[in-house]
Chain A
Amino acid sequence: DIQMTQSPSSLSASVGDRVTITCRASQGISNYLAWFQQKPGKAPKSLIYAASSLRSGVPSKFNGSGSGTDFTLTISSLQPEDFATYYCQQYNSYPRSFGQGTKLEI
């Protein structure tokens, strides 16, 4: 089974900052990686698939990169609505697996 490890687990930032979240797979997953955003009490929202492809309607301030085992999600010019928890997920093989999440706080 593939384990996904995100770092950091939590992150404090300010409005206007740029932040980077890292996701590491325990074995190579090519670019079969997705990123999700979740706000308290809400369902997750899909941001990125194939490691770097933005979902329709997601602003270009979200940038995903990586391949193989190491991936990053960079969010630029943070706005209040960006403060949420972010998850990565591999879909290279079953069982699917999520990272433990990164809580982005003001």
Chain B
Amino acid sequence: EVQLVESGGGLVKPGGSLRLSCAASGFTFSSYNMNWVRQAPGKGLEWVSSIRNSGSYIYYADSVKGRFTISRDNAKNSLYLQMNSLRADDTAVYYCARANPIDYWGQGTLVTVSS
């Protein structure tokens, strides 16, 4: 069974940093592209970033470019999102999602940016 479990969310002050993790199981992690998608409270889905299975190609939304860094460790079956210079409008539930097109989603982790 495919499982994606996000962790690392929490409350952080504006300008702060946070690192999200996504632990994958039930499939060959190194064979799949992975994504981060977020959803601000009461809003729609917003694509954040994607990384190819080998990590060789990486893409970002303009809203996070230069502040967020996606990475993966295929040996640990894990996906990461390092978030720096956080702003109030980064407040959202962050989902880890598998493949392109997306087929499985994690349950999400809430990031709240507030003073």
Residues of chain A contacted by B44 (CB below 8 angstroms): 87, 98-101
- Give A61 Cβ to nearest chain B Cβ, in Å: 20
Band of interface residues on A: 20 to 34
Residues of A within 8 A of B26 (CB): none
A49-B95 contact given A94-B59, A95-B59, CB 8 Å threshold: no
Please give, as numbers and ranges, the residues of chain B lying within 8 Å of A43 by CB-CB distance. Answer: 95, 105-108
Does A72 make an interface contact (CB < 8 A)?
A: no
CB distance from A85 to the nearest CB of B (A): 8
The answer to whether B59 touches A45, judged by C-beta atoms less than 8 angstroms apart, is no
Q: How many residues of B contact A (CB 8 A)?
A: 21
Interface with A: B7-15, B17-25, B70-78, B96-104, which one? B96-104
Task: List 18 contacting pairs A-B, 8 Å CB cutoff, sorted by A.
Answer: A32-B101, A34-B101, A34-B102, A43-B107, A43-B108, A44-B45, A44-B95, A45-B105, A49-B101, A50-B101, A89-B45, A91-B101, A91-B102, A95-B59, A95-B60, A95-B61, A96-B50, A99-B44
Given contacts A38-B45, A44-B45, A46-B103, 19 further A-B contacts (CB under 8 A): A43-B95, A45-B105, A46-B101, A49-B101, A49-B103, A50-B101, A55-B103, A89-B102, A91-B101, A91-B102, A94-B50, A95-B47, A95-B59, A95-B61, A96-B35, A96-B47, A96-B50, A96-B59, A98-B44
